Amino acid sequence: MVLSAALAAASCGPAQSPATPADARQDEAAYLPPPSVTLVESGAETIALGGRAVPGARVQLTRPGGGALGAQADSAGRWRISAPATGAAQVFGLSQTLAGRTVQAEGYVFISPEKGGWLLRAGAAARPLASGRRSGLVIDYDRSGGTVISGQGPADGLLVVQVNGRRSGDGRTDAAGRFEIRLDGPVATGESRLRIFGEGLNRETTLRLSAPAPLEAGPVRAVPDGAGLRIDWLPPGGGIQTTQILP
């Protein structure tokens, strides 16, 4: 009843002016897409990051504890920033500013001397930053057991995920062979048998999920996990998300 009354009131109100092509052009001009990273080069003393932004925009990498590095995108939208190499994992926020408007990139830029650059995304799969980079499996999960499996396979292939022999999700690889599959239900902590199979891919591995310890030395903790890497990190909405990069 309340909804019906609201609709009736709206229908009796003043007529809305239809959108014009000028309005559409203005909205398009006001849109500022997030910047992206397409290049990661690690050296003994510096780490170079490069990517795409709006031409002329000011691109900035910001450390969680303060301090920022910046550069201006050129006329083609290319940017490049060098950061000191610390020998340890680093994390940055990425943004661009143009004409007083600022937009943040999705997630956090994470750089590991051993595992390269990754975009950590809240509630979603981490993505390798450098184009063309291939990786093993990546497991993202939170305290509730919500889990996303991502990795590389043949292009445009149908895949099925099983956990302990039970079908737990399915999806397709994209044109570059990347896939991100959110499992149908939570995965319990401890060891599980994970299988991903389909068109041109058949991989089995042991899935080890464990609750993270509190983050006491900053918003990100990265530790070796066998031949892989475990990253416990704090998304903007709170809680702790874990990203496991497997070989």
pTM of the model: 0.78
Q: Which residues does 81 contact at the CB level (< 8 Å), separation at least 6?
A: 48, 49, 50, 59, 61, 69, 70, 71
What does each C-alpha distance from 13 to 8, 9, 10, 145, 190 come to in angstroms? 9, 6, 5, 48, 59
- Report pLDDT digits (tens) over 52-106: 999 999 999 998 777 899 999 999 999 999 988 888 888 899 999 999 999 998 8
- How far apart (Å, rounded) are the C-alpha atoms in residues 167 and 200? 18
- Report pLDDT digits (tens) over 101-153: 999 988 899 998 878 889 999 989 999 886 545 567 999 999 888 999 999 99
- Report pLDDT digits (tens) over 163-189: 999 999 999 999 989 999 999 988 989
Task: Find the Cα–Cα–Cα–Cα dihedral 123, 104, 223, 50, rounded to 10°.
Answer: 130
